[in-house]
Amino acid sequence: MKKATKIFVIVFIVILFTGFGFYFYQLYEVAKDISLKEASVANVRFEGFNPAIGDFYPDSVEFTFRIKVYNPSSYGITLDKIVYTVYVEEIFLGKEFVENLYIAPKTETSLDFKLKTESSDILSLIGDLLVRGDNVVDYRVNGYIVLPIKFFGVVRVFSVEIPYNYEGFYVLPVKPPWGRPETKLVNGWWESTTIHLCSTVKATVTVKGSISGKMEIQIKKDIPLWPDKVVYSKSFYVNIPVGDHKTFTIHFHPSEASSWKLRGYYIVVKLNNQEIWSQEGSYPPRLKVLR
């Protein structure tokens, strides 16, 4: 009898630890690979906002954020929660969490959550951006996923926290025609205004604040009697405060010499898809390319 009891206890312990080990292995495989593939702004909605009558400062703003969780393992998992903290232009927007989220195996699951604010700091920030013709806001989302480790999938033993941090920008659903950066805040020039076809030339652009958003430097062909053509472009994300300035350089290798059908090349600067500066139409300051 004692021998049978002993065998029973041993078998029970083996089953117990086998079950725990198997489930722990499953959780380990999931925890090792589960990740946030994206944390971004999906939508922005204003209330009490009417730029047509000069009201650029909303009464409230609702941000919709989208998180994509990727589970490449063969096991489904229920997350305890996802905690997220959001900053807009480095101003605290809010901190929230969502609980009990099932992530199916071998899938990428999208989760949307909303944060609505009436914070004067955020509303003033957005209003000031729009007044000066800027409709791009930078954001930062960070936090952590809480993954439970449970005995036989029922009794919690401990939890694993998986941190994440994402930054990006969002173009507000407003096209502000009332303001644009002054062209005197931007200047650009060629290192040399006459070069030979096989050469590379440096173009320099300086920008003074206040400017923020997506800035694009373009090189265009100056074509007589036809629309000019972009032959090179490079984008930068800028946030330059008042009184500050920044210098950008690019290197350009022209593929065609100046001729009767191509006068030369010139620099254009765009901010948030709007042209804010272009080189004068004469040579120099535009670039002439010799054979």
Element (H or E) spanning 26, and its range?
Answer: helix 2-33
The verdict on residue 1 lying in a domain is no
Residue that terminates a domain, selected from 171, 204, 228: 171
Given 148, 171, 194, the domain boundary residue is 171
| Structural domain span for residue 105 | 36-171
Quote the mean pLDDT of the chain: 79
- Report d(CA 270, CA 276) in Å as an integer: 5
43 and 154, same domain (yes or no)? yes
- Asked whether residue 162 falls in the same domain as residue 189, the answer is no
98-128 per-position pLDDT tens digit: 888 888 888 888 888 888 888 888 888 888 7
Q: Is the pLDDT of residue 202 over 60?
A: yes
Total domain count, the chain: 2
In a shared domain, residues 133 and 235: no
If asked whether residues 283 and 187 sit together in one domain, one would say yes
Q: What is the CATH number of the domain that holds 221?
A: 2.60.40.10
CATH of the domain at 91: 2.60.40.1820
Residues 49 and 147 in one domain: yes
Residue 176 inside a domain? The answer is: no
CA geometry: angle at 166 spanning 248 and 134, to 5°?
A: 50
The verdict on 125 and 164 lying in the same domain is yes
Place of tokens 């440096």: 202
Lowest-confidence segment of 61-65, 215-219, 257-261 by average pLDDT: 61-65
Tell me if 259 is assigned to some domain.
yes
Q: What pLDDT band is residue 171 in, cutting at 50, 70 and 90? A: confident
Q: What's the N-to-C CA distance of the chain in angstroms?
A: 104
In a domain, 3, yes or no: no
Residues 272 and 148 in one domain: no
Domain membership flag for residue 11: no
CA–CA gap between residue 193 and residue 284 (Å, rounded): 6
pLDDT at res. 29: 58
Q: Are 250 and 268 in contact (CB under 8 A)?
A: no
Do residues 138 and 88 touch, judged by C-beta distance below 8 A?
yes
Question: Same structural domain for residues 82 and 140?
Answer: yes
